[in-house]
């Protein structure tokens, strides 16, 4: 159908536009000490604020976002096993694993995302892929699949003092966080403030190092990080008034303050706009009824404040439909435009 071809073209255009939309409304008022930063709206791919967002930088333990989501996606999260005694022999932050502990992949994800355990990251790597080296290959393969073209992993933990090959960008890490947060298990774990785990007869209590969970309205994730080479790194996610934002700062000595100020800025310039539900009648040929009613799902957009006044729409309907009208078949569409670019597409289908 000609309509289907047109829809595919429109969807491609929409995806292309969504990757480049950028707001800089009074962005000059925002100051951050980060080497690289981004405030990202994942629903549309909108960049609300950026500073050197494509500069390759070390990302320290925010690396564990990739390690945790790969561990979760590998399955069997609650199958107990004895932790690999060599994998847990690693310096830096720890969830407190010792030789002989009985763990699960789920417990190791808590260990990675709350206290930023390097021991948990290595143990999860071995449990998932058989070795740290194989897991790192999996990390880089996943980065390629997600289009993170300026990201390269050397360790599951983010330890980087011995290498210059472990790096990412603020934009890549925002996209990685957005992907991981689509997973309900990941989101639940990274938003947990504290938990006590049974490691085979020995209990350990873990606390989340992300203090914005307690101090900043709407924050529900994601991961802290620090090494001497990377400096302070922080990735958080925040929801207010139905809008989600992801903030990334790399190499930022004032990261806690900067994230709060960036969120206050971002939510002040954005709004969710409900465009309503579309309904139209089209002549029906060969049926008991003379018309068929087509409707589209309600459309909701996140826009810069004031942009809704410039939204325009075009309705594409067939001259008629031959009976029977197929319930899930799109027969038309409404395309919403903002400044000439496609902002949203609503398919029109027979109303139940």
Residues serving a catalytic function are 61, 64, 116
Q: How far apart are CA 98 and CA 132, in angstroms?
A: 18
Task: Considering only the C-alpha atoms of the chain, give the largest distance between any 2 of them, rounded to a whole number of Å.
Answer: 76
Q: Of 181, 165, 257, which is closest to residue 215 (Cα–Cα)?
A: 257
Q: How far apart are CA 66 and CA 124, in angstroms?
A: 12
Q: How many CB atoms lie within 10 A of CB 113?
A: 32
Q: Of 170, 303, 176, which is closest to residue 233 (Cα–Cα)?
A: 170
Check: CB of residue 99 under 8 Å from CB of residue 84. Answer: no
Q: Of 138, 130, 133, which is closest to residue 68 (Cα–Cα)?
A: 138
Q: Is the dihedral of CA 155, 157, 163, 165 positive or negative?
A: positive
20 by Cβ neighbours in 10 Å (0-12 / 13-18 / 19+) ranks as exposed
Q: How far apart are CA 33 and CA 231, in angstroms?
A: 11
- The single-letter DSSP state of residue 63 is G
């Amino acid at each position: 159908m000609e309509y289907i071809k047109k829809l595919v073209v429109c969807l491609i255009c929409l995806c292309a536009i969504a990757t480049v939309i950028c707001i800089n409304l009074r962005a000059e008022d925002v100051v951050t000490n980060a080497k690289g930063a981004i405030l990202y709206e994942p629903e549309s791919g909108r960049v609300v604020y950026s500073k050197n967002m494509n500069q390759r930088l070390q990302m320290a333990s925010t690396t564990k976002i990739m390690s945790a989501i790969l561990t979760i996606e590998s399955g069997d999260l609650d199958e107990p096993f004895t932790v690999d005694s060599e994998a847990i022999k690693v310096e830096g932050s720890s969830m407190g694993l010792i030789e002989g502990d009985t763990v699960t992949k789920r417990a190791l994800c808590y260990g990675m995302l709350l206290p930023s355990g390097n021991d948990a990251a290595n143990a999860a790597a071995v449990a998932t892929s058989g070795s740290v080296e194989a897991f790192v290959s999996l990390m880089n393969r996943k980065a390629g699949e997600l289009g993170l073209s300026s990201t390269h992993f050397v360790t599951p933990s983010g330890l980087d003092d011995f290498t210059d090959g472990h790096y990412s960008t603020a934009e890549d890490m925002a996209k990685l966080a957005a992907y991981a947060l689509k997973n309900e298990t990941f989101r639940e774990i990274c938003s947990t403030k504290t938990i006590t785990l049974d490691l085979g007869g020995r209990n350990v209590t873990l606390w989340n190092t992300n203090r914005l969970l307690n101090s900043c309205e709407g924050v529900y994730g994601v991961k802290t990080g620090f090494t001497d080479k990377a400096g302070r790194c922080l990735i958080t996610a925040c929801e207010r008034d139905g809008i989600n934002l992801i903030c990334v700062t790399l190499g930022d000595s004032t990261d806690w303050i900067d994230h709060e100020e960036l969120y206050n800025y971002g939510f002040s310039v954005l709004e969710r706009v409900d465009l309503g539900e579309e309904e139209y009648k089209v002549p029906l040929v060969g049926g008991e009824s003379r018309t068929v009613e087509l409707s589209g799902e309600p459309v909701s957009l996140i826009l810069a404040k004031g942009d809704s006044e410039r939204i325009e729409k075009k309705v594409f309907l067939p001259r008629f439909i031959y009976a029977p009208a197929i319930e899930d078949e799109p027969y038309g569409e409404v395309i919403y435009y903002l400044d000439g670019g496609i902002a949203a597409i609503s398919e029109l289908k027979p109303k139940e």
